[in-house]
Structure 1
Amino acid sequence: MTTFAVRLALAGGREAAARLVIIAAAVTLGVGMLLATLAGMNAVGAQNLRYAWLNTMTAPSSTQGSGAELWWLARKDYYRGESIGRIEVAGLAADSPVPPGIPHLPADGEYYVSPALAKLLDSVPAAELGDRFPGRRAGIIGDAALPSPDSLIIVIGRPPATLEELGAVRVNQIMATDPSDCTRCIVGINQDGMALILSVVAAALLFPVLMFIGTATRLAAARREQRFAAMRLIGATPRQIAHISAVESTVAALIGTAAGFLLFAAVRPALALAPFTGERFFRADLALTPLDVLAVALGIPAGAVVAAWLALRRVQISPLGVTRRVTPRPPGAWRLVPLVAGVAELAWFIGRRPDTSNQQILAYLTGFVLILTGLVLAGPWLTMLGARVLAGRARRPAALIAGRRLADNPKAGFRSVSGLIVALFITAAATGAITTYVANRGEPRTDSVAATSLSLNFWAEDGPQPTAADVPAGLASIPGVSSVTLVRQGPEAPGPTGLVTCAELARLQVFGACPPGAAVAAVWHDLIGPRAFSLRDTIEWDASPVPAASLETLPVQSVVVNTTDRAAFERARTMLIRAFPATQWFPSSVGEWEADSARLLVQFQQLANVIMLCSLPIAGCSLAVSVAGGLSDRKRPFSLLRLTGVQLNTLRGVVALEAVVPLLLVAAVAIGMGLLAAHLFLRAQLDYSLLAPPPSFYAMVAGGLVVSLVIIGTTLPLLRRLTGPETARNE
């Protein structure tokens, strides 16, 4: 029986060959995407583990390590918006622990750099970057210590007394705990959160692929059912029919699974270039475990067998079941209940935001899942509604026939595009939320003062605050530096604690102004403050009662340097670091701090775009297969219609409308509900109103829909060949 089933699958004529190829192609896409997701999760874990040693400062000496200690100081630097991890060490014994990636601790006056930082140091003027690092290059940090090929890391050797003065900590072990399992770690990835995001991406990509596989399995379903029913009538048992169907599906699934592994191997180098976590992966990180390989290699064919059994269950029940075709019951309006419940839940939390993060995740995730479930469940009812509107407003026969057919069986019409629901909903919700968040709290405009001004703040733990004489006089003479402002230490109080004269603010113009009649303003140490989160660049500061004449006697709280170009910005930063090497935080701009939080959000937005750009063509392929299968099953009725005088263009209009109406309806509803869910979330969590997505979002949606429509259009020429007079005669 197995041999017979294999012959049917491989040598059963054009229909069998087409079905085999389409199912194998669908499985190939699904397996490739699944393997890419699994490899991505493994890569996140591998990358995260190499962040561990950078958290050594949070692991002070303990009895678990060796007796030998070293001084350890970790700080963050920037160059043109890219962060640099700066580790300064001093061994206290010959066997002091050594960080990974270097052969030994650097001596005083030596440093090791990552390959990316070495390349950067060799390509930019020393006054902009290299002069910040004392000593000479001793070597290159190996990959074992680098989270990414793009990581900018330096390990500098310093005298023990210097590091003690700088506030370094004594450690006797290099941190090896995964940041995901470390409550005190400050560097690394939230692996659970990233795994959740990648899982959502995988589900959003796999759902349309699974719909594609299901549609391909139903290709020429009516003719297959008739063939299997004939076998039943001549004595084949239900078990034999199930066996034949399972073998046919397994052959296609095995071919597709093998091709899926080849597809993953082909795209793996490109995947390594995608900065899913904000940084690229090493190619070796995108690896599959033996369990991953076994689960996919065995699970996909097993799933294909189950899908085949479900697709042909009517034949297994009765050999005459295929002749008993009746109009299915129309879907009921009760399918809207989860959708309405999800919207109501998100709306209820506006003004009632939960207190803890876990409560917020539970509240909002539940609402989103309810809406998504409701969309999938309500899809047939919405399709039926759209079909009835189409039929009721029809002015041409094609629209009337298409509307009536969709209204009679809306589940079938919706099934082939149901995969779009997940993808478009997630993409629209992510785009709406991220666009609004970044606009309100993301990276400031590159021409705004929040991005062009550099500030160095002196904290109490940095030691005695400097005087004006300690600030390098050469700062103001750097070409491209427009102003150097000293913010004085004001009284300790909530809110702004710095002081600047109103005459200075009037001279600078770009940092705000004083109220009328004031002589001194209370300002934030960087002259920016929380207004960087808004879209405004001007502010009126509150007046301070401190006399202007006494400001010269107060210590300096911060130095703010405004520049007109990036070269001047970096030269000023280098000069400040050399002048004040003991500060806890190196000079930076508000824009750089905000860019760190916005960068990962932008990566998530790119993932959402990938979901949409992949899902729309896949949905188009599903529709094309569904249309081709429907034409094969209905070629006799269409042939008879042509014999009665119906024009070929009319039949093409029927077929096109049956495919296009569900596609456009699902796209519109999914995008609308995604933006609504994003608006309700933003109102509840951040009290923001949704901003319109950028034009690029609509362009991608339109482009994806056009590609899908073109794919559908490729099936229409089949009508002429399938509906000729010979079809009616031969059938």
Structure 2
Amino acid sequence: MLAFGLRLAVAGGREALTRLIVIAAAVAVGAGLLLATFAGVNAVNAQLTRYASLYPEPSSGGSDAAPLWWTVREDYFHGRQILRADVAATGADSPIPIGIPKTPGPGEYYASPAMQRLLAATEPDQLGARYPGRDLGTIGDAALTAPNSLLIIVGGTPDQVGKLPRAQQLTSTGDNTPAIPATVIDLIMSVIVAGLLFPVLIFIGTATRLSAARREQRFAAMRLVGATPRQISMIAAIEAAAAALAGTALGFLLFFAFRGSLAAVPFTGDPFFPGDMSLSALNILAVALGVPAGAAVAAAVSLNRVRVSPLGVTRRVTPRPPRWYRLLPLPLGLAELAFFLVGPMPETSDGQMAVFLPGILLVMTGLLVAGPVLTMAGARFMARRSTRPATLIAARRLADNPKAGFRAISGIMLALFITSVATGVITTIVANRGTAPAGSTDAATLSTYLNDGPPSVAGLRPTPGVRSTTILRKNPVEYGDPVVACADIPPAYGRCAAGTTVAAVSSNFIPWRQSADAARIWPAAPVSADALPQLPVESVVVLTDGSAAAIERARTILELAYSAYFVAPNVPGDFESEFANTLRGWQQLADVVIIASLAIAGCSLAVSVIGGLTERKRPFSLLRLSGASIRVLRRVVALESAAPMLTVAVIAVGMGLLSAQLFLKAQMGYTLEPPGPEFYAVIVAGLTACLAVIALTLPLLERITGPETARSE
């Protein structure tokens, strides 16, 4: 049976060979993307595991080795985060930090390759002066989260490091534990599988059904001469599995060929090391066995009509129209997301994911389930409004079998929905938690919080680009805003109320998530001008001209003056910049998803159109013999594909942005920020490419609808 199935797979000449090549190509794309998905999740896990190892848990004893003092602080340079690890060995057998050959002593440091390049390319008074001492060498990849990580390991004495914030003693280093919880992995996999792999599965299924009518007739004939349904299913499975095995092998080759290029793309805000894009044995087995098995199952399912009876393929009847209840999942999903606008919100992250993820998936499923109903409604509307034969024929065919009409464009709907949700959420979060706008007073303001001791700010005033230096002191009222003398408030930050000598101001003069305002009036503080100098210092605020050089010089002076800082001197938005950069990396991933998904959906659409043309050669030939021009027939084919595709595109984008708004409002209290023009440009470009794919299939219509095709068979 195996040899017979393989022989039948190529017995149809060029048509059979073309079908096998298309199926193999579809499987290769699917297998390659599935491997890239598994490797990407493994890479993210490895990246975050190394990041977590920089913040180890305190040692619980059990080792006789002298401990290592260790603490990590965040620094910034031009909006980029620098991680500074201060270390000090307490004995000759103290553990050595991972990635370096020995623990640096006082006045010594190791730096990552990217950090060394940055130090060499920057004026010392802007960066290098923060880390005085001797460069001992490069930190190895084992301690870096990414090839472009800015990490520096600075040595000190046990007394110095022990007094730093968050200092702890370690008896071992490099104890890495998985950094991604299982729930987060499930979320990542769900989004990627839904947004990227589902169109691939549609492509595989569509390619498997290529020339389905001809194959059904062949298998039905075999049934008439005595073949059993089980034998027919086995032959179909062998035919599909042969192409799937070749496609899977090609998918592995594609993955390893492009693995280095994929690792260099900053999907999470930082690139990966190529070695992090690894595959586990379970990943390899899942793809090597699962993809061919899935293709075989799809082939067997596609021949369901042959199993009904040997003559089942000749008794073609109009399928039952989709029922109205297919519309129910969509409003149910939206209702679940909207419920948490007024209902209680789970307190834990896992609980929140457990309610929001099913809501998003239910909306997505609702779109897929409701797709045939929407296609049928649109076709009937088009039929009522049609004034041309091509429009009427296309509308009647879509209304006759809306499931088949929607199947070809379902991948496009799914890709647009997932991308609209991701883009809406990411764009809004970045807008609300991003860096300060360039040129604003916020972007020119540098501040640092002090835990104890007076600051040394004498070196700041003569620094080029520094316009003012203001010392804020702690309010004697518990949880009160810091206080400052009205005479020390720069005009750019506002002014005091009339008759006030000491005012209570927001930290950094900038209220949370607002901007500095010269017209702001600060209220009086319950502190006299005489008592103000006796209050402890809370922070120092430096107003610069906004230039990067002035900000970094001032930051360097503050760090040297207050070397035991807990929070590095920062510009409003520095803390958020890393988060925003990560989100922008995920936005890049969303763009990749939509481009890849639309490309795959376009291929699926092309295969579906070609398959439909092949199955309807004789009806189209009869139409040509009865007087219909080839132009009319091309319009029919184009309308059958383009009309539902454009309709579902509008619906998918609208539902995606609505779902994003419901999620943002319930989870974060944000209002959706409309995506920028580039989002719509990507969508228009993708849909245009899909229309171009449809146009490329139209010349085939004239070649396969000649008079010889209209003969009775």
**Shorter chain as normaliser: what TM range?**
over 0.9
Give the aligned residue type for 1:210.
L
Q: CA deviation at 1:215?
A: 0.8
Q: 2:448 aligns with which of 437, 456, 462?
A: 456
Native 8 Å contact 1:525 1:557 kept in 2? no
Indicate the residue corresponding to 1:255 in structure 2.
246
Deviations 1:278-316 (A, max 9, x none): 321110111112222122111111111111110112213
Q: CA deviation at 1:111?
A: 0.9
- Distance across 2 between alignment mates of 1:67 and 1:222: 75
Distance 1:317 1:151, change over 3 A: same
- Distance across 1 between alignment mates of 2:688 and 2:626: 34
| Local SS of the residue matching 1:543 | coil
Native 8 Å contact 1:229 1:320 kept in 2? yes
- Distance across 2 between alignment mates of 1:286 and 1:729: 57
Native 8 Å contact 1:353 1:684 kept in 2? no
Deviations 1:255-290 (A, max 9, x none): 110110111112211111122333211101111122
- Distance across 1 between alignment mates of 2:535 and 2:282: 66
1:482 aligns with 2:505: no
Indicate the residue corresponding to 2:100 in structure 1.
102
Give the aligned residue type for 1:222.
A
| Local SS of the residue matching 2:508 | coil
Q: CA deviation at 1:177?
A: 4.4
Which has the higher mean CA deviation after the structures are superposed, 477-486 or 282-291?
477-486
1:344 aligns with 2:335: yes
Native 8 Å contact 2:109 2:135 kept in 1? yes
- Distance across 1 between alignment mates of 2:711 and 2:375: 35
1:162 aligns with 2:160: yes
Q: CA deviation at 1:199?
A: 3.9
Indicate the residue corresponding to 2:42 in structure 1.
42
Q: 1:501 aligns with which of 481, 485, 492?
A: 485
- Distance across 2 between alignment mates of 1:315 and 1:710: 35
Q: CA deviation at 1:104?
A: 1.3
Indicate the residue corresponding to 1:526 in structure 2.
508
Native 8 Å contact 2:195 2:419 kept in 1? no
- Distance across 2 between alignment mates of 1:476 and 1:135: 26
- Distance across 2 between alignment mates of 1:195 and 1:425: 19
Indicate the residue corresponding to 2:4 in structure 1.
4
Deviations 1:666-707 (A, max 9, x none): 211111111111112222223332222111111111110001
| Local SS of the residue matching 1:161 | helix
Q: 2:295 aligns with which of 298, 304, 312?
A: 304
| Local SS of the residue matching 1:211 | helix
- Distance across 2 between alignment mates of 1:238 and 1:33: 34
Native 8 Å contact 2:210 2:607 kept in 1? yes
Which has the higher mean CA deviation after the structures are superposed, 622-631 or 446-455?
446-455
**TM-score scaled by length of structure 2:** 0.95
Indicate the residue corresponding to 1:443 in structure 2.
435
Give the aligned residue type for 1:37.
T
Q: CA deviation at 1:550?
A: 4.4
Unpaired segments of 5 or more residues in structure 2?
A: none
Q: CA deviation at 1:629?
A: 0.6
- Distance across 2 between alignment mates of 1:329 and 1:266: 47
Indicate the residue corresponding to 2:216 in structure 1.
225
- Distance across 2 between alignment mates of 1:538 and 1:66: 63
- Distance across 2 between alignment mates of 1:444 and 1:189: 30
Q: 2:691 aligns with which of 701, 705, 709?
A: 709
1:414 aligns with 2:413: no
- Distance across 1 between alignment mates of 2:32 and 2:166: 48
Indicate the residue corresponding to 2:326 in structure 1.
335
| Local SS of the residue matching 1:420 | helix
| Local SS of the residue matching 2:71 | strand
Amino-acid identity (%): 54
Native 8 Å contact 2:30 2:251 kept in 1? yes
Native 8 Å contact 2:398 2:640 kept in 1? yes
Deviations 1:92-149 (A, max 9, x none): 1110111111111112211111111111111111111111112101121111211211
- Distance across 1 between alignment mates of 2:591 and 2:246: 30
Distance 1:236 1:198, change over 3 A: closer
Q: 1:584 aligns with which of 559, 566, 569?
A: 566
Q: CA deviation at 1:631?
A: 0.6
Indicate the residue corresponding to 2:83 in structure 1.
85
| Local SS of the residue matching 1:646 | coil
**TM-score scaled by length of structure 1:** 0.93
Distance 1:407 1:440, change over 3 A: same
Q: CA deviation at 1:164?
A: 3.0
Indicate the residue corresponding to 1:473 in structure 2.
458
Indicate the residue corresponding to 1:184 in structure 2.
none
| Local SS of the residue matching 1:428 | helix
Q: CA deviation at 1:407?
A: 0.6
Distance 1:163 1:687, change over 3 A: closer
1:209 aligns with 2:200: yes
Native 8 Å contact 1:444 1:594 kept in 2? no
Which has the higher mean CA deviation after the structures are superposed, 301-310 or 344-353?
344-353
Indicate the residue corresponding to 1:143 in structure 2.
141
Q: 2:608 aligns with which of 599, 603, 626?
A: 626
Give the aligned residue type for 1:680.
L
Q: 1:381 aligns with which of 373, 376, 389?
A: 373
Distance 1:44 1:441, change over 3 A: closer
Indicate the residue corresponding to 2:265 in structure 1.
274
- Distance across 2 between alignment mates of 1:269 and 1:11: 40
| Local SS of the residue matching 1:487 | strand
| Local SS of the residue matching 1:51 | helix
Q: CA deviation at 1:499?
A: 1.6
Distance 1:674 1:308, change over 3 A: same
RMSD across aligned positions (CA): 2.1
- Distance across 2 between alignment mates of 1:726 and 1:562: 84
Distance 1:601 1:287, change over 3 A: same
Distance 1:22 1:538, change over 3 A: farther
**What is the correspondence of 1:114-129 to structure 2 with a 5 Å cutoff?**
114-129=112-127
Give the aligned residue type for 1:404.
R
- Distance across 1 between alignment mates of 2:556 and 2:699: 68
- Distance across 1 between alignment mates of 2:661 and 2:518: 26
Q: CA deviation at 1:524?
A: 2.5
Q: CA deviation at 1:203?
A: 2.8
| Local SS of the residue matching 2:649 | helix
- Distance across 2 between alignment mates of 1:298 and 1:551: 74
- Distance across 1 between alignment mates of 2:589 and 2:369: 26
Native 8 Å contact 1:345 1:367 kept in 2? yes
Native 8 Å contact 2:450 2:565 kept in 1? yes
Native 8 Å contact 1:621 1:712 kept in 2? no
Give the aligned residue type for 2:73.
R
Deviations 1:355-395 (A, max 9, x none): 41343323322321221111111111011011111111111
Native 8 Å contact 1:204 1:426 kept in 2? yes
Indicate the residue corresponding to 1:434 in structure 2.
426
- Distance across 1 between alignment mates of 2:12 and 2:520: 77
Q: CA deviation at 1:168?
A: 6.1
Q: CA deviation at 1:190?
A: 5.8
1:59 aligns with 2:34: no
Which has the higher mean CA deviation after the structures are superposed, 637-646 or 289-298?
289-298
- Distance across 2 between alignment mates of 1:417 and 1:536: 51
Native 8 Å contact 2:326 2:373 kept in 1? yes
Distance 1:249 1:536, change over 3 A: farther
Q: CA deviation at 1:220?
A: 1.3
Which has the higher mean CA deviation after the structures are superposed, 510-519 or 632-641?
510-519
Q: CA deviation at 1:565?
A: 0.5
Native 8 Å contact 1:59 1:175 kept in 2? no
Indicate the residue corresponding to 2:24 in structure 1.
24
Unpaired segments of 5 or more residues in structure 1?
A: 181-187
Distance 1:424 1:540, change over 3 A: farther
Give the aligned residue type for 2:417.
F
Q: CA deviation at 1:590?
A: 1.8
